[in-house]
Amino acid sequence: MSGVVDEELIHSKIAIVGMSCRVPDCDTPSAFWQNIVRGVESIRTFRDEELQQAGVPAELLNDPHYVKRGAVLKDTAYFDAGFFRYTAKDAEITDPQHRVFLECAWEALEDAGCVQDLERRVVGVYASSCLSSYVLRLYEDQALVQRLGHVQIGIGNEKDFLASKVSFKLGLRGPSVNVQTACSSSLVAVHLASQSLLNGECDIALTGGVTIRSEQTAGYVYQKEGMVSPDGHCRVFAADSAGTVFGNGIGIVVLKRLADAISDRDNIQAVICGTAVNNDGEEKIGYTAPSPIGQAQVIHEALTVANVSPREISYIETHGTGTELGDAIEIKALKEVFQTEAAAPQFCAIGSVKPNIGHLDTAAGIIGLIKTALALKHQVIPPCIRHEQPNPKLAFEQSPFYVNTRPRAWKDVSDSPKAGVSSFGIGGTNAHVVLEEAPTYASDASARQHHLFLVSAKTEKALANTCRKMAKFFRIQPALSLADVSFTLQTGRAHFPYRKMAVCSSLGEAARLLEAAETATTSSSGQEELRAAFWFSPQTQALGRMGRELYQTEPRFARIVDGYIHSLSKEMPDMPSLERLLPGAERAQGDDALDPLPVELSQFFCQSALADLLVSLGIKPQVAMADWYYPLMVDSEKRPHGMMRSTLLTGG
């Protein structure tokens, strides 16, 4: 294992084992990372026609201070209601924030490969959402309000019901907590979820935040000395920084105790070393203003909890809104913590995701965490876009910091990558998380040449869509281990009625077979346990070659055969060699025509060992049938003379 964690500290650390996100221009973490590393700005300019269709009045469109830009999250009107047991009417009166969060919660659990663990593990939910603007539309329909009542509408839209709704729909029994601290909500949720895991309140934690405004196709009115940008571009720590741009998006991570994740051999994305949360109190100029004292204290506390010195941090994902006051105070707080150990200037890169996708309000912190976890996973310090000249007032030259403006290989900066993520909320609740790279495992992948890929869905259309997405994923991730993918698809995913399978020797072949229309698709009536029968046929040459391949590629089969040979060798001094019992393609069993003993033993070994192997894999027969020849008698040299055909039928 490289990047090994200290055994004494392992029990205080948290593993990120799964994630999902939907942000402007991206609906998966991998697509999000590609846009980040390429420096894509997903804040777009709206055409007047779009704004008019969205209901923006003409006088506002003609206002010179009206900025026609925004960060849009696509397809928020769609929802897989049937998958989560929603009626069409229930789905219609549910805020898109709740609907999308539920979909992403399932995606994150699938990404973590733990959906089959949900019944036997205690799973907690820590969730944040923005103020519902969708409910305002519902209240415009007074007939609907009178028919359903305030309680039913509230359950579908209010913040209070987000986390518990996920717990109810997915059958999760751990703590179910809504976290609301404005812009820092989702990173505070990560802190609380981590504490819950360390305190033993849950085994798995699902945590994240969502912000989706109903009126996404809409600009905003710029006000001098306000928070928003005059031109719809967000620039952080730059000479021309002038404000932020608000956007829409969602992010969720799945957390486990690091010791458990290592024991379960999970796909760890990054490791949380320490977290901290505090509040500014009254030591600032106003309620909405940030405080350098509060921010410095929370960063220092998180580093102390993580047992990490500032000098070990090589990247910080800042809150970085692009406002003059906010950026200046954040840099002042960082200097307060880092300057004491600044052996050399500019050793720590800083950046912010907000110039890419806008300020996501309650989801801002979790998206910053996902971005940083992906950076550690790919070992690349990501670029901060829209930054040409540093703000001279921030005096970066003699500070520990520099704004990273191009993708940089992390190994060129640090041998032990560690990073910090900050999120600060209006009202003064601050959060900071310290991350490090994930440990890697020595491979124990199977030596099999072919592997079984299983895919399933609740409808035939969903199955076809899943196969297309999986095929696309395989083509862009050709280095994945076939054995690991096969294992995850079988043990880490739920098995639904509509199913497809592929036996393949490469990811390219898997992609082709999953997309092929002729590949078998099945649907079941819900009966999971199907009756099985074992038939032992009188095969010879082909059976021996099959046994030889299984012996070479399937360790469990080899152990069973070796056990047979060891047991029989005590009674048979002239026991045939393994090469005669399991001949390869270069040697046919017909060579033993004058000595049938190896043939008979090979037939028995192969079929009996294969049956034992299938039973060990969970395939248990109700019926076993044998149709073979066995020796009628043996001479003094234990050679068979005469054969008798037998058919055996047993029920179990």
Q: Could you write out the three-class secondary structure of 524-549?
A: CCCCCCCCCEEEECCCCHHHHHHHHH
Domains: count for the chain:
3
Return the SS3 of 445: coil
Residue 390 scores a pLDDT above 60: yes
| Residue 350 to residue 404: CA distance in whole angstroms | 6
For residue 543, the model assigns a pLDDT of 72
Q: Are residues 431 and 469 in the same domain?
A: no
**Residue 483, number of CB atoms within 10 A of its CB:** 15
Strand, helix or coil for residue 244: strand
Q: What is the mean pLDDT of residues 394-410?
A: 96
Mean pLDDT of 9-32: 95
Q: Are residues 267 and 406 in the same domain?
A: yes
The residue behind tokens 């099985």 is 532
H or E stretch covering 502: strand 498-504
Please give the pLDDT value at position 342.
61
Overall residue count recorded for the chain in this entry: 652
254 is in which domain, residue-wise?
10-436
Q: Say what the pTM is.
A: 0.88
Helix, strand, or coil (residue 285): coil
In a domain, 2, yes or no: no
pLDDT band at 343 (very low <50, low <70, confident <90, very high): low
Indicate if the alpha-carbon torsion angle 76, 77, 82, 84 is positive or negative: positive
- Which of 380, 408, 436 is the last residue before a domain boundary? 436
- Could you tell me which residues come within 8 angstroms of residue 640 by beta carbon, excluding any fewer than 6 positions away? 596, 597, 600, 631, 632, 633, 634
Q: For residue 252, what pLDDT band results from cuts at 50, 70 and 90?
A: very high
Percentage helix, strand, coil, to 5, in the chain?
Answer: 40, 20, 40
How far from 594 is each of 486, 571, 641, CA to CA, in Å?
A: 44, 22, 11
Beta strand 521-523 with 204-211: parallel, antiparallel or unpaired? unpaired
Distance CA 496, CA 457 (A): 5
Q: How far apart are CA 512 and CA 471, in angstroms?
A: 7
Which pLDDT score, from 0 to 100, does residue 227 have? 95
Q: Residue 142 — pLDDT band, cuts 50, 70, 90?
A: very high
More confident residue, 639 or 396: 396
Q: Annotated catalytic sites, by residue?
A: 183, 319, 359
The residue assigned the tokens 């971005």 is 371
Distance CA 226, CA 75 (A): 31
Where residue 221 sits, what CATH number does that domain have? 3.40.47.10
- Specify the pLDDT at position 2: 43
Does residue 445 lie in a domain region? no
Verify that 85 and 149 share a domain, yes or no.
yes
Nearest-angstrom CA–CA distance, 248 and 15? 27
Backbone angles phi, psi at 337, to 5 degrees: -85, -40
H helices within 158-291, ranges in order?
162-170, 185-198, 258-263
Whether residue 6 is predicted with pLDDT greater than 60 in this model: the reply is no
- Taking the C-alpha atoms of residue 526 and residue 258, their distance in angstroms, rounded to an integer, is 36
Of 477, 500, 523, the residue that ends a domain is 523
Nearest alpha-carbon partner for 421 in 531, 323, 333, 302: 302
Residue tagged 């201070």 (tokens):
65
What is the pLDDT, as a whole number, of residue 479?
87
pLDDT above 90 covers a percentage of the chain that reads 71
- Higher pLDDT: 631 or 366? It is 366
85: alpha, beta or left, given left = phi > 0 and alpha = psi -120 to 50?
left
Our measurement of the distance from residue 392's CA atom to the centroid of its chain's CA atoms, rounded to an integer in Å, reads 40
> What is the amino acid identity at position 140?
E
CA distances from 92 to 54, 98, 277, 524, 609 (A): 20, 11, 37, 30, 56
From 311, 319, 395, select the one nearest 364 (Cα to Cα).
319
Q: Which residue type sits at 130?
A: C
Residue of higher predicted confidence among 602 and 395: 395
Q: Tell whether 221 is covered by a domain.
A: yes
If phi over 0 gives left and psi between -120 and 50 gives alpha, with beta otherwise, what is residue 26?
beta
Q: Is residue 511 in some structural domain?
A: yes
Contacts of 33 (CB under 8 A, 6+ apart): 371, 374, 378
Tell me whether residue 643 is in a domain.
yes
How far apart CA 87 and CA 315 sit, in angstroms, is 46
Q: Is 351 left (phi over 0), alpha (psi -120 to 50) or beta?
A: beta
**Closest C-alpha to 445, from 198, 286, 265:** 265
Token pair of 503 as six digits: 């036996």
Query: Within 13 A of 240's CA, how many CA atoms are on the CB side?
Result: 11
Which residues in 165-291 belong to E strands, given as ranges? Answer: 176-178, 204-211, 220-221, 249-257, 270-279
126 and 211 within one domain: yes
CB 331 within 8 A of CB 348: no
Q: Kind and range of the H or E element at 568?
A: helix 555-569
Q: Are 203 and 357 in contact (CB under 8 A)?
A: no
* Residues 228, 244: Cα–Cα separation, whole Å: 5
Flag whether 162 is in a domain.
yes
Distances in Å between the Cα of 326 and the Cα atoms of 43, 209, 241, 428, 538 are 21, 22, 11, 12, 80
Q: Are residues 461 and 590 in the same domain?
A: no
Report helix, strand or coil for 349: strand
Confidence of residue 7 (pLDDT cuts 50, 70, 90): low
CATH number at residue 560: 3.40.366.10
> For residue 367, what are the contacts with CB-CB under 8 A and spacing of at least 6?
21, 23, 186, 249, 251, 353, 357, 360
Q: Does residue 442 belong to any structural domain of this protein?
A: no
| Judgement on whether residues 514 and 537 belong to the same structural domain of the protein | no
Lowest mean per-residue pLDDT among 217-231, 355-369, 378-392, 518-532: 518-532
Q: Give yes or no: residues 365 and 492 share one domain.
A: no
CATH number reported for the structural domain that contains residue 466 in this entry: 3.30.70.3290
Query: Are 388 and 458 in a shared domain?
Result: no
Closest CA to 294 of 279, 274, 309: 279
- Look up residue 67 and give its two tokens: 């900025």
Distance CA 341, CA 172 (A): 45
Mapped onto helix, strand or coil, the DSSP state of residue 315 is strand
Lowest mean pLDDT among 300-309, 440-449, 474-483: 440-449
- Kindly report the backbone phi and psi dihedral angles of residue 128, in degrees, each rounded to the nearest multiple of 5, phi listed first: -135, 145
What is the spatial distance between Cα 431 and Cα 277, in angstroms, rounded to a whole number? 5
For residue 648, what pLDDT is reported? 46
The answer to whether 33 touches 374, Cβ cutoff 8 Å, is yes
Token code pair at residue 195 = 């504490």
The verdict on 86 and 235 lying in the same domain is yes
576 and 492 inside one domain = no
Final residue of a domain: which of 472, 497, 523? 523
- 290 contacts 229 by C-beta, under 8 angstroms: no
* Interatomic CA distance for residues 424 and 299, integer angstroms: 11
Q: Within this chain, do residues 129 and 50 fall inside the same structural domain, yes or no?
A: yes
Please check whether residue 1 lies inside any domain of the structure: no
pLDDT tens for 577-616 read 777 777 654 444 455 544 666 777 777 778 888 888 888 8
- d(CA 624, CA 648) in angstroms, rounded, equals 8
Number of Cβ within 10 Å of residue 81's Cβ equals 16
Residues 418 and 486 in one domain: no
| Mean of the per-residue pLDDT values of the chain | 89
Contacts of 570 (CB under 8 A, 6+ apart): none
Rounded distance between C-alpha atoms, residue 116 and residue 112, angstroms: 11
